Amino acid sequence: MAPAARVARALWPGGCALAWRLSGRPQLLLPTQNRAGFAGSAGGPGPVAAALKGSPRLLGAAALALGGALGLYHTARWHLRAQDLHAEHSAAQLSLSSHLQLTLYQYKTCPFCSKVRAFLDFHALPYQVVEVNPVRRAEIKFSSYRKVPILVAQVGENSQQLNDSSVIISALKTYLVSGQPLEEIITYYPAMKAVNDQGKEVTEFGNKYWLMLDEKEAQQVYSGKEARTEEMKWRQWADDWLVHLISPNVYRTPTEALASFDYIVREGKFGAVEGAVAKYMGAAAMYLISKRLKSRHHLQDNVREDLYEAANKWVTAVGKDRPFMGGQRPNLADLAVYGVLRVMEGLDAFDDLMQHTRIQPWYLRVERAITEASPAH
CA angle, corner 142, sides to 141 and 145, nearest 5?
80
Which residues are the active-site residues?
A: 107, 110, 112-113
Q: How far apart are CA 126 and CA 160, in angstroms?
A: 16
Q: Count H helices and E strands in the chain, helices first.
A: 16, 6
Beta pairing class for 100-106 and 158-163? unpaired
Q: How far apart are CA 10 and CA 149, in angstroms?
A: 26
Neighbours of 8 (CB within 10 A): 20
Residue 129 φ/ψ, nearest 5 degrees: -110, 130
Burial (CB < 10 A; 0-12, 13-18, 19+), residue 174, is buried
3-state percent helix, strand, coil for the chain, nearest multiple of 5? 60, 10, 30
CA dihedral 354, 259, 284, 353 (to 10 degrees): 0
Cα-atom radius of gyration of the chain, to the nearest Å?
A: 26
Q: How far apart are CA 155 and CA 307, in angstroms?
A: 40
Question: DSSP assignment, residue 55?
Answer: -
